Copies of this chain bind each other. A is one copy, B any other.
Amino acid sequence: MSFTGIDNLESGEALEAALRRIGDERYHNRHPFHRLLHGGRLDRGQVQAWALNRYYYQAMIPIKDASLIARCDDPAIRREWRSRLVDHDGTSENDGGVARWLALTDGLGLERAYVTSLRGLLPATRFAVDAYVHFVREKSLLEAIASSLTELFSPQIISERVSGMLANYDFVTPETLAYFSKRPPQAQRDSDFALACVKAHAATQESQKAVLAALEFKCAVLWSMLDALYAAYIEPKHLPPGCFDAG
């Protein structure tokens, strides 16, 4: 797969429009849990449950990205994708997105060893995140790249999240939310690249369908994580055996 490939602008624009429609319909900013979280209608235990579960997603992102690099035979894509590893793993122990997520769970009063042990994780979180990693390892490289395109929609959700959480929760501080202040420009750069890649390479109807299905799949990963949080911690509050007890 070479990045300087087919010039396929016209159907590229149609593809981008179709991808953005999927985001409008299926991105997790439409999920009821998201609205409760940002609207300040969760208690501290429920916000902790969200951060604890989302930690597993954050922790697996560099594994996912390295899996993609590991199967890519184009040095230009590998080089570009490598910046994601830098963003998430940083250049020293307390640097990078995963470390900043742990600053968030620290700030929410969760024990770091408990968070990283994954003992309190909802099984549905683990299954959804692992499904994403397996998808990137097992589907075509084009589909693996396309599955990252939820980042097209993340700058907006992040800005809603930060302002909503700061306004509504006295247990949340700007320092705690450092993860989110770093993310939007990274997500913008990454999704610009992934979108250009997909538009350049999804030249057949079949490959365009696969690209759209990859984004739907990824939206379902994020959506089902919020479904599981909602069911365990909001309604009907059925906590699966052994999971984090939000009190």
Contact = CB atoms under 8 A, between A and B. Distances in A.
Given A130-B131, A131-B126, A134-B130, A240 B220 contact: yes
Contacts of A32: 236, 238
> What secondary structure prevails in chain A residues at the interface with B?
helix
Contact of A124 (B26, B128, B134, B232): B128
B131 A241 contact: no
A168 interface: no
> Max chain B CB contacts within 10 Å: which of A127, A223, A234, A235?
A127
Contacts of A219: 241
Interface of A: 25-26, 32, 122-124, 126-128, 130-131, 134, 216, 219-221, 223-224, 227-228, 230-232, 234-236, 238, 240-242
A-B residue pairs, 4 tightest by C-beta? A123-B220, A231-B231, A127-B127, A127-B131
